[in-house]
Every structure is written in C-alpha cells, then in structure tokens.
Amino acid sequence: MNTTKKAKTALISVFYKNGLAPIVQKLNELGVVIYSTGGTELFIKELGINVIPVEDLTSYPSILGGRVKTLHPKVFGGILARRENENDLSQLNEYAIPEIDIVIVDLYPFEKTVLSDALEQDIIEKIDIGGISLIRAAAKNFKDVICVSSMNQYHEFMQLMTDSNGETTINQRKNFAAKAFAVSSHYDSAIFNYLNKNELAFRKSFDTVSTLRYGENPHQKGYFFGDLNALFDKLHGKELSYNNLLDVDAAVNLINEFKNDEPTFAILKHNNACGLAQRETLKQAYLDALAGDPTSAFGGVLISNKEIDNETASEIHKLFCEVVIAPSYTNEALEILKGKKNRIILIHKNTELPKTNYRSALNGILFQDKDNKTDNANEINISTLKEPNTRELEDLFFASKICKHTKSNTIVLVKNKQLFASGTGQTSRVDALNQSITKANHFNFNLEGAVMASDAFFPFPDCVEIANIAGINAVIQPGGSIKDQLSIDYCNNHKMSMIFTGTRHFKH
C-alpha cells in the first residue's frame, strides 16, 4: 500500500490569518482545491485565489451567529473517510462528498480571552467547537489526511509542501496528528481549568518547552515546560540550566516577601538563602548580604528588589555568580555586569506567580496550595512575660520570611535585618541551630541581641537553651508542641521573649 499521499483538496478555517497567505498561495500553485468559510474565506478571496465556500458544499448557511459552520456530514465525511475502505468511498460517491486531504485550523483564542478579563459570555463564545472537531477528525484519519492545528505549525507545513511538491508521507502526517492532539488536549485543559470550581482533578498543559543543557546532573536530560518570557527579560549570558531554574524559582519567591520594602538583596545557593540584608542603599544591602556567607556566594544566584545601580554592579562584578535578577538596571550597571560573557542577567517582570505548586511523587503528583501566608503582627501570640522590643520584632518577622523559604529543618539567625546564618535541611532542629551558630561564629558575627526563627515548633527546650547561651534573646516559632510550656518556662527564667505564630512553614 502506498503511504505517500498527494494533496488535492484542503479545508482552511483559522482565527488568526498571520502567516496564512504564503500557504494559500502555495496550495493554489499546487492545484489544490480550497474550501473555506467566514473570515478565512474572505481573506483567501482578497488574495485573488479561488475558494469554495463550505456553505456551497453543505447547502447550509452559517447559523446561530457563527456557532455552526462546518459541523456537517459533507465536511466530516470527506475528512474521516478511509481511502482504502470501499464502503467509505462508495458512500462518499453516493452523497457527493469530496475527499479532504488537508485541514488547516487555528482555534479561537480562549486563553488570551480569559487573560483579558473579558466577560464570561465573551469567554464562552471563544470556546471553539467546529475547529476542535475538525482537528480531531483530521488527526484521527492521519493515514489519509494531514492536519495543521495551529499557526505555530505554518512554517513547518509550508516547508513540507515546498520540498515535497504537495506530497506527504505517513510518518509526516502522523507527526502532525500528534501535534494536533497536543493542541486539542491543551485547549480542553484550559477550558476545564477555567470552568472548574469543585471537581478535584489535576489538569496542567504547557505548549512552550525549552530544552536545557542537561538535568540536575550532566547524565540526565532536562526540559522546562512553560513561558519564561512572561516572567523575565533575558538581557545577557548563557542559557539557564535546570539547577539555575530551581535557584531562580527560590530567589523570586523569596524576594517577593520584600517586594515593597527598603532596598533588599539576597544571594542563594542550592535553593537556600546564604546571604540577605536590607539597608538604606542597595550597595550596602548587597555587601551585607555577601558578608553573610562569602564562601557559599561563589557561583550563586543574586536577586534584588530594586533597580541595580552602577555602584552595586561594580561590587557584584567582583564576584563569580551564575545569575543576577532585578526589576531593572541602569545602563552603566548593565554594561558592567555584561563584563562576564556567561553571566545570566534577567529583568524580573511584575508578573503574578501561580497560587499552587505540584511535584511528581512515586507514580503520581503531589498538589497543594502554595505557602502564601506571611507571619505578621496581627496574628501572633507573645507567649513569654518579656515582650520583644521594636527592633527585635522587626528582625523576628524578617527572619521568619527567610525561614519560610529555607529547606526544613531550618533555623535562621538575624540581627539588624541581616541574615547572620541559617541551618538548612537538617534532620534535627538542634542540628540546624548548631549549624547556624557555628556558621555565624565562623564569619565573626556577634550573636548578642540576635533573633532566631524556626520553621516548626520545639518539642523540647533544648533549642531555646542553646540559643540563649549563644546570646540570642528573641525567638519566633509556630508553637503547638504538647511541651511548649517547657520552652516558655526556660525563656521566662532567662529573660528571653518568644512569639508563637500558629503557622508552620515546612519546606521540602
């Protein structure tokens, strides 16, 4: 059986006409008979090319305000007929149904309409019925029909028609069929997610994919599904890697906690902040963030909540870092940072991040609401006799924000809105505290008057005792242990203040 097919007929019905003209002209040049309807038909006529209205084929006009145009046996029979099936061909002949060899569709822009904050009735009207039906029918019958299901495929299809003089192989048609069902499933997922309010189901689909240099390690393949251009403008540097993207994700979520605050600078390594400070100038914020752990900062991801100026850029340029992220840069600062050819420079756009997150686990998906709760003064309980003073209270909330975005178990030590040290990803909270104290001492920080934040409660008073010995006088933690009173009693006996937030911030 010959699996190479030469196209003789085409049905074209698209929303966006961009890039369509060369295809129509090529099909006309190849002698392909073209059927069309509505705005697409008018567009083809204006090109001076013969086109047969679908209404002439079906003997029915477009009805219901355009909701029904191509939904007819004379259209779908011509698409779905199996060319090797004598009964199918006999019925085509009996009902005067032409074979249709090419179907070109570009669907109504449902997702764009949703994003435009249109009224619900306008959004519903952008749910394509005829177009999606044409795509599914043509893709199903890929043995005989080639389906172009998006304007994003125009270039590839045009190249195919040009190179093969209108002929297609079974593998080429099957490839376009796979693309068609990808378009169809993505479109249906978008509609489901818009309409769904109560159904507990997981439907996520991404059209845009980037091939990464490799995955977490060089022997692993890696891809990113999503539109990074919606979040960032990339100004310079090599392509983002898998690990870069994980760090950038952590950095963006962390800096969003300080979005409207005074100049704040963070340095991250392996998804955790190794330096973070807030100061009157961005340069000083950067320098104090770097002082938090200048060793770990090497090869890190840097992020600012303010425009990076010339002085700050000059300091950053002294450090080897993978990525720099900011809402903007002065022209001179940008030129300074471009001094390292591989350094990735990103502008962080003011784009809202998803309110949920998910990850693969075992043979399924774990899905949850994002931890969008930030501890604040309106929802705390001062559990000790001593209350934190104003400076300590500011530092406690500052530390809590960092703690929320650090791998569990974690302890975060802060003084004067500067991250002194953190214990990250420890199996024991005591280990996390000892790690943070050791690190702070290694970089010559004076812990007298520092504050401590914990992502979860203390089951025993050992942590507040260790902290007190180190010079820490104020603590913020969720509370909730059946032995909370032991920690409270220790703090009261040693004139420490402790806040319970009632909110745990595990991060795994």
Token pair belonging to 339: 């001094």
DSSP annotation of 305 reads: S
SS3 280: coil
CB 134 within 8 A of CB 103: yes
Residue 140 annotated among the catalytic residues of the structure: yes
Task: Write down how long the chain is.
Answer: 508
Helix (H) / strand (E) element for 171: namely: helix 170-195
- Give the bridge partners for 210, in sequence order: 224
Which residues have CB under 8 Å from 400's CB, separation 6+? 374, 375, 412, 453, 476, 501, 505
Question: How far apart (Å, rounded) are the C-alpha atoms in residues 367 and 416?
Answer: 37
Convert 6-23 to b/e letters by CB count within 10 Å (16 or more is b): ebebbbbbbbebeebeeb
The gap from C-alpha 94 to its chain's centroid, in whole angstroms, comes to 52
Which one is catalytic: 140, 174, 338, 340?
A: 140
Helix (H) / strand (E) element for 460: namely: none
SS3 457: coil
Which one is catalytic: 8, 17, 204, 270?
A: 270
Question: How far apart (Å, rounded) are the C-alpha atoms in residues 406 and 422?
Answer: 8
Cis peptide before 198 (omega within 30 of 0): no
Question: How far apart (Å, rounded) are the C-alpha atoms in residues 1 and 253?
Answer: 58
Question: How far apart (Å, rounded) are the C-alpha atoms in residues 500 and 340?
Answer: 46
Residue 26 annotated among the catalytic residues of the structure: no
Question: How far apart (Å, rounded) are the C-alpha atoms in residues 402 and 53?
Answer: 63
- Give the bridge partners for 36, in sequence order: 12, 53
Convert 242-260 to b/e letters by CB count within 10 Å (16 or more is b): bbbbebbbbbbbbbbbbee
CB 74 within 8 A of CB 57: yes
**Catalytic residue list:** 140, 270
